[in-house]
Structures are given as structure tokens and as C-alpha cells.
Structure 1
């Protein structure tokens, strides 16, 4: 049987560039699909950080014109093979070699160019995949462009499309003039409602939802949540049109990167058979932050963006209470100023219980996952979440709010049956979080056998990409038959 060819198109991806969980998916899912026998390639913009750190390792592939609307320029393309996956990098210094990846006034033009350059790349390489798998709003218009702007070629018309929503809160909403300027498409697609979103605006994401063969998101619960007014971000009525083509496939983690048995960032490696060695990492992290070294105190870890979405206003409301117990917190992250300020306050007020590192530090993230006993994720909404998967794999029990992928992946502790892989709460208030936090601490200190059983169940859980990759393969086969 001919090997299926799949092209991933995304705005970021490991091992080259990352701002969020999308990059983890792009860095690990294609690798697993290649392992399972597919020909998978990835297209990314070539950002400033990549130009500085990686450009010398890239191979030049092609240069070509990109002409659509007000975009009249050239693109250069480079490539590199990593773990069997061919990555293509679209170079345009004016658009992409900037300090940040997103948040510029010309983002519509930047990612309009990126999507057109991706299509031109297929022509330049004479590579037309069976499936284009586009991710989030930055690549969402590709199914639309293939079936309109590039429909003069049979090869474009025959490509099947999967569009994945990683976070519906970011939809690529721009003034309607960008339908022509950034995408090169006739204003009629605005007048007939196809591209229109709000008054005088278009949405790149809406085009992906309407024109892809299948629309996926990153957990089964989130796929249902986004059909509701509460989680739908004003896109629920559009998604309702595609309800029968919408499905959730939960993310996994890359066991090559996240594995306590061989993680080179850890002071001492361990697995379930040597779980007592986990405490060496706790003692080292305590020493690093100047906390009292105590292997028996419960250590609560957080690695996150510090935003409303992640639920940290709930935490700050009751943090004074949470810190009255025999407990230590280590937090890694940055985000909204009010949350950061609150954490700086508690760091000063409770120096022997509360440590806060503002920013992101990859080695430290690994150390927190390994050193902690409890990992806190009180998200208001969470399409999938990866941190809870990593923490369970490292024998650190997650405490999560029951939403999206957190609900799908963490089984709450049941005191009678001893089942579970963590702790969860359903409310949206600080009191609900405090109650389950108190239960977690009670279990840790008063029912250590139960705690150990939860750790064993969490570490035995398969949170790799294998099962989810199989579901994607089935989906690709279904739409290309």
C-alpha cells in the first residue's frame, strides 16, 4: 500500500520554536506518525530565534514569488530532517524575524503570506500530500485557499484537509479588508457570510472550520464544550454546522523528552520501581530555592502561564489559607501582572513555604515535575493540557478543575475504591478548589498508602502519543478513501 503523505502546517513547533502547547504537539505527533509508517512533513515560519540558532543547519530548498492581494514578495524555503520528519521553514525576514511570534498589527498579512507561501511551496517541490493538517488560526485558511484561489490545479482540489483547534479563544479576527489584502480573495466571500465574523471582520479560523473535511480539537470534552455559549467564543453556531465532522482526540506527550527514568535535567532518575529516588529531586529543588529541606512535606508545583484562563485568580483568593498547612509551593511562570504581583507578595510573606520563579526555564520545569508531590492546574477552561500528563508520568498527582482535557485525562481519587490518578473539582469558585486541596493534603498525610496507590496508577497510565496517533491515522484513511 502506498505510504500516506501528510503535511502539518503550524505557526510553531519543537524542537525549533515554542510559546505554548501547540509546539509540543507539532514536535511529537508527526514523529509518532512517522514511526507508524506515514510520510509526515511540517511547515513552519522561520522566526528570528531560529535564524540565529538553527539557520546554519538548514538546507536551502527553493525560492519563489508569493502574489496574492497586497502580498507581492518572495519566499525562501529551507529544510531539515528531525526524527524522520521533514521540516520546511518559510523565510521572510520582514514578516518573521522579530522578537515575538505574534501580537503585531500586521499579523493578518504575516500569516496570510505564510499560508500562500505554503501552497506555493507545494508547487515548487511538486509535492502534493494526501492530507494537509492545519493547526489553529495561523494556518486555518489553507483548506479555503486550496479550494478557491488554487483550484486551477487538480492537485490542490484533490488534497483532503484536517483542521485542529488548539485554543478557540484565538481565532484570527481581522478587518474585512484583509480578505483581499492578506488572502487575495474576492469581497464576495464576505458579503455572502462565508468569511464574515462580527461586523466588518473576517475570521481565519472560521474558514478552516467551514472548508476542512474534518475539524478536530484536542480532547473529547472540549469538542463538546465549544458547541456551547459558555465555551464557544461566539463560534459555536459555526461549529454546530460541522457537528458531525467535529471530534476530539486527546494530546499525548513525547516519552523521549518527558521520562523520569532518563531525564537528564533531574538530580536523580527514577521510575515506579525506584519511586523512593523521587525524593532526591525534592530535596535538591528545596535547596535551590532556599526552602527548608524536608522530604516529608508535601510540595505543590506549578508550571504555567499565569492567566485568568489558567485559574490562578481562584488560587490567589485562598492562597493565605492554602499556606497555613504544612506545605511548600514552587511556581514557574509569568503572565498577568496582578497574579505575578500576588505571587511576589506571598514569596515575601512566606519565604519558607513559597517560591516563585518569574519566566520560563526548561530545566527547572523538568525539575518541578519530578520534585513535586502535587501539581496544581485549576484552569477555567483547558482544551487539552499537557502538564497534567507530564506530572502523572512523573508520579506527581495533578489537582485539576474538571474541564476540557483535564476532565478527560485525570481520574479523581475515590476514597472507597482507591481508584484515581489525581484530584479534581467541578466548581468555578475558590471554595471548591480549597475543598479538594484539603482532601489532597489529608490523603498525603493521613492515608499514605492511598497516595502511593494513586501514584502507581498515574505512572502506569499510557499518556504517550501512540493511541491518539492511531486515531489520526484512522481519520486520514477515512477522508482519503
Structure 2
């Protein structure tokens, strides 16, 4: 039997480009699927940073064009292999080689219509037709639609099976219905019959959910939450219709990149045997580097996050007095809402040596925070999966999380009677419960050090790799009759 072919289509992927957790998934999961005997390839846009950084290793494949707004727009396709996975890059300087963010532009609909059309024509140009096309998030939601509606007489496209993964339902790719004909080459009857309609426009996310053969999301709890009005982002009824085809599979992390034993960014590497000794040394190094009071025994809690309401940072703002009053230090790395940034700067100015805020992102510092801290705070309002809690557990840093989405699925709350657990949690989205969870972590750390050490061992023994999840994705693919 020939090797089964899977094409991942996404807006970003490590090691080439990242703006969020999507890039971690698309960068890590194909490697694991490869080990299961699948031929997995990835296609993403060629952004400016990739063009500048990876230009030498990219190999030209071919040139062709796609029709956007009734004009033939050129496409250049490049390729590279990283860790045995072949990556393709869709090049268009005007659309993708921009300074700043990867998306959030006025013409995002047109840009990603172009990308999706370029991917479908790539299959024709290369005579490469995967058994499964695995599309990710709103940027690729129209791929199943175009495959099924625009190639009605071409079995090469009609035989492709489609898996669509929702990474964050809050970002849906909602655009004007005028795009249907001009950019996507789709009939207006798909708007009229409601298949792709959302309010008075179209939704890339909704379209992917409706047209894909299988829909997945990034944790079992989130798969249930998005069927409700509280988390469904006005797509809950559409998701309820597809509930039989919807499955939640929790993310993993790349344990080669995130490994305290080998992590080159750490002053002191460690494993389960010397974690307690070397964590204190890492803590002292972090305290010194960031201007915190140097004390290897004080409890340090870290946050590496976007400073937004979704991530629960407004709860941290509200309860800052109670957090600062506690016997601990706080390290925040991230950027986001200007009022939260300004608030944290003011807190740092008034609490030197106890609270530090690093505005922006620094990859090495992120690794050092995971390794040096005792606790890791994630009070999210909603969290489809979350990767930070998986990293922190792997580094022996106990997460303090709200019980939502993937946080609920991956963090086992401390049980003082059985000594089970890999962290601490709270149920409802309010500041008092968050502070209570932090205080419980502090109490365990200072008053029950034996229990705390057991939780650290439990956390580090947790399998957070992609191995198990990759098998679950293969199970999804295996459900297709033609695949077997």
C-alpha cells in the first residue's frame, strides 16, 4: 500500500514564523505523523521574516497564477525540508511581505483567498493530490468549500477528504459577501442558501465547519464548550449540527525544543532527579537578571502571555493588591492591551524587587521563566487548549489555571489527601477564586513542601509530547473509508 498523503494548510508554522499557538501545532504535529508512516507536507504563506531569514535555503519550485478580482495574479512557489517535513511557501510580496503583524489588515479576506486558491492550484501544478487536506483556522476555511464547489467535474479534487481544525473560534474571518465571486470564484447561491453566510457577510470559519468532512478542535472540553452560547461565538448552532463529526484532541509540545535537560537557554539544566536544586539556581539567575530580590526560597510565579481579557489579565489587574501582599514575587512577560501594560509598569515602579514586567516577547527569557518559577498563572476566560501549562509542567513549574478548555483537560488539581495533582485550579471566572488558587499554591509550597515536591514530580512525569495526540489525529484520518 502506498504511503498516505496529508497536506497541512495553515497561516503560520514553526520554525519559520509564529504569532500564536497555531504555529506550534503546525510545526510539531507533522513530525509525529511522519513517524506513524504518513507522508505529511505543510504549506504556508511566505512572509517577510521568512524571506529575509531563510532565503538561502528556499528552493524555487514553479510559477503560476490565480484569478483574484478578475485579474490573473502571479504565484511563486518555493520549498524547503525541515526535520524531514517538506514545507511549501506561497510567495506574493504585496500580500505577505509586510512589516509588522501577519494579519489584521483591511484586505485579509483577499490575501487569504489568494493563499487558498494558490494552494489548490499548487496541487495541479505539482500533480500532488493528498488523500487528506488538513486546514487550520479561519485563514484556510474556504478550502473545503472551493474543493467541493469549484471542481465538480475533477475527481482529483473531489476525492480529497477534508479535516478542519478550530484553534480559536473567536477569530472567524468574517468578510463582505462581495468576495464570494470576485476573490473565491464561488456562486452567490452559497450566500443565499446560508452555507457560508454569517450576518450580512460570509465567514471563512463557518464555511470550514460546514464543508469539512471532519472538524476537530484542540481539547475535548473546548469541543463541548463551543456547542454552548457562552463559548460558541454565534456559531454554536452550526457546530451543534456538526457535533457527530466534531472531536477534541489536546495539543502537545515539541519536547525536543522544550526540554529542561537540554535547553541551551538555561543557566542550569535539570531533570527529575536534580530539579529542586537546579531550579533554585535558575531562580537566582532570573532574579539577578531582572532586578528581583535574590532569594532562592521565595515563591516566584510567572506569566508568559498576551495581555488581553481572554487570558484573564483583567482579573490579575483587579486583584493586584492581594497578589502583591502575598509572600511571593511575580514575573510577567508579554504585551497586549495598552491599559494593562501601563498598569503593570506602574505596579513594577511601586514594587521594585517584587514585581517585574517585561513588555514584549523574548524567547530565551520565556524559557528561563518556565525553568526558574515555582508557579505559572493562567486565569483564562476561555482557552481552546493552551500550551504554556504543558511547558510549565514539563519544566516542573506548577500551573495555576482556570478550569476551562484545554486547561481543564491537562492540569490535574492538587488533592491534599491522595497527593495527586499537577497544579492548582479554580472554577469560576472571578478574581476572588483566582487569588484563592494562588494562595493554596503558596500554602502548599511553604507549609507542605513534601506535597509540593510530589506535585512537581507528578507534573514532570506527565506526557505532554505530541505522540499520543498524533495517534488520535491518525484515527480521525483512518475513519475515511477511502483511506483504509
Shorter-chain TM-score range:
over 0.9
Q: Mean alpha-carbon deviation: is it higher for 143-152 or for 82-91?
A: 143-152
Could you tell me how far apart the structure 2 residues matched to 1:41 and 1:11 are?
Answer: 14
Change in 2 beyond 3 A, CA 1:148/1:69: farther
**Residue 2 (structure 1) shift:** 2.0
CA distance in 1 between counterparts of 2:119 and 2:393 reads 37
> What are the within-5 Å matches in structure 2 for residues 39-438 of structure 1?
39-70=39-70, 72-99=72-99, 100-198=101-199, 200-275=200-275, 276-438=277-439
Q: Is the 8 A contact 1:71 1:182 kept in 2?
A: no
The separation in 1 between residues aligned to 2:285 and 2:39, in whole angstroms, is 43
Distance (whole Å) between structure 2 residues aligned to residue 283 and residue 435 of structure 1:
27
Query: Is the contact between residue 309 and residue 381 of structure 2 (CA under 8 Å) also seen in structure 1?
Result: yes
Shift of 1:433: 0.5
Per-residue CA distance 1:311-367 (angstroms, 9 max, x = gap): 010111111111112211111000001111111111011011001100000000000
SS at match of 2:441: helix
Whether contact under 8 Å (2:67, 2:183) holds in the other structure is no
Query: CA–CA distance in 2 between the matches of 1:162 and 1:279?
Result: 45
SS in 1 for 2:437: helix
Tell me if structure 2 keeps the 8 A contact 1:70–1:184: no
Preserved contact between residue 312 and residue 381 of structure 2 (Cα < 8 Å): yes
Q: Distance in 2 between matches of 1:151 and 1:109?
A: 23
Please identify, of 368-377 and 62-71, the stretch whose mean Cα deviation from structure 2 is larger.
62-71
Question: Is contact 1:6-1:40 (8 Å) kept?
Answer: yes
Give per-residue Cα distances to partners, 1:150-191, cap 9 Å, x unaligned: 233111000001000000000110011111122111111111
For 1:442, what is the secondary structure of its paired residue?
Answer: helix
What's the secondary structure of 1:272's corresponding residue?
Answer: coil
Deviation at 1:292, TM superposition (A): 1.2
1:3 aligns with 2:22: no
CA displacement 1:87-125 (0-9 Å, x = unmatched): 000000111011121011110100000000000000000
SS in 2 for 1:438: helix
Q: Distance in 2 between matches of 1:252 and 1:107?
A: 29
- Preserved CA contact (<8 Å) 1:69 1:185: no
Partner of 2:445: 444
Q: Secondary structure at the match of 2:325?
A: coil
**Structure 2 length as normaliser, TM-score?**
0.98
Distance in structure 2 (CA, Å) of the matches to 1:382 and 1:72: 41
**SS of 2:239's equivalent?**
helix
Q: Determine the C-alpha separation between the residues in 2 that align with 1:233 and 1:325.
A: 37
Structure 2 counterparts to residues 460-471 of structure 1, below 5 A:
460-471=461-472
User: Could you give the per-residue CA deviations for residues 61-82 of structure 1, whole angstroms, max 9, x where no partner exists?
Assistant: 0111112544520100000000
1:31 aligns with 2:34: no
State the TM-score, normalized to the length of structure 1: 0.99
SS in 2 for 1:72: strand
User: Once superposed, which parts of structure 1, at least 4 consecutive aligned residues long, lie more than 4 Å away?
Assistant: none
SS in structure 2 of the partner of residue 108 of structure 1 = helix
* 2-structure distance, mates of 1:266, 1:11: 31
* Structure 1 residue ranges without an equivalent (≥5): none
Say if 2:398 and 2:456, in contact at 8 Å, map to a contact too. Answer: yes
- CA distance in 2 between partners of 1:37 and 1:178 (Å): 39
C-alpha distance in 1 between matches for 2:383 and 2:196? 27
**TM-aligned CA distance change 1:19 to 1:97, over 3 Å:** same
CA distance in 2, matches of 1:191, 1:325: 58
